[in-house]
A and B are shown apart, each in its own frame.
Chain A
Amino acid sequence: GENVEQHPSTLSVQEGDSAVIKCTYSDSASNYFPWYKQELGKRPQLIIDIRSNVGEKKDQRIAVTLNKTAKHFSLHITETQPEDSAVYFCAASGNSGYSTLTFGKGTMLLVSP
């Protein structure tokens, strides 16, 4: 089955800095990669996703890059703000997102003012 590794487990940055979270996956058949943000005690929220037919996708301060050859993808947050503080999960899925999601273990991002 699919295995998703996520690093780092915790990340502390100063407000305004950039943050990068990296994930690797094992199943070359995976072709859909969403990122979720989860605040304490709340539901995971889909913040951005990417399919394997593109290498990069951007939405305002958030971007995701995908390297299919190396089987890794990354989340980039620029100009971080305190409200970006949360746990971020990457995930991988096959069948264009119709298969089950395999989640990484999460990254706790702390943005200090």
Chain B
Amino acid sequence: GAVVSQHPSWVICKSGTSVKIECRSLDFQATTMFWYRQFPKQSLMLMATSNEGSKATYEQGVEKDKFLINHASLTLSTLTVTSAHPEDSSFYICSARDGGFGIKLGQFFGPGTRLTVL
């Protein structure tokens, strides 16, 4: 249980293009999903908290117009990196928290998306 998928697993794009990353909870309902960014050999940095049916809450320093988050259903959240630039290249990981009746504490992570912007 508590499986989270993420797609795509890796993407290479040209500077200026937009990239959409999907995060899905496969066997539970996730009222809350989180988007992290991880640079090589560094920790996970929270970018935003995504709540189903409402606007995402962004961490300080994260541009909400650049990193668009949509959480339209209890099993899907998307992160769109708009007008990507080389400095946006990173490992993006989502996580989901079980909001169902059989609540499991902790966050369960997707496999991550490696974004490379040329």
Residue of B4, B109, B111 with highest tally of chain A CB at under 10 A:
B109
B105 and A32 within 8 A (CB): yes
Q: A7 contacts the other chain (Cβ, under 8 Å)?
A: no
Chain B 40-96 residues near chain A, CB threshold 8 A: 42-44, 46, 49, 93
Residues of chain A within 8 A (CB-CB) of B43 are: 89, 103-106
Verify if B34 is at the interface (C-beta below 8 Å from A). Answer: yes
Cβ–Cβ contact B106 & A97, under 8 A? yes
Does A67 count as interface, using CB distance less than 8 angstroms?
no
Q: CB-nearest residue of chain B relative to A97?
A: B105
Q: Which residue of B lies closest to A45 (CB)?
A: B109
With known contacts A89-B44, A100-B46, A101-B46, A46–B111 Cβ distance under 8 A: no
B107 located at the interface, meaning its Cβ lies under 8 Å from any Cβ of chain A in the complex:
yes
Q: How far is the CB of B59 from chain A (nearest CB, A)?
A: 9
CA distance A89 to B36 in the complex (A): 14
List the interface of chain B (C-beta within 8 A of A). Answer: 4, 34, 42-44, 46, 49, 93, 97, 105-112, 114
Given A34-B106, A49-B106, A106-B42, 4 extra CB contacts under 8 A: A43-B111, A44-B44, A100-B49, A105-B43
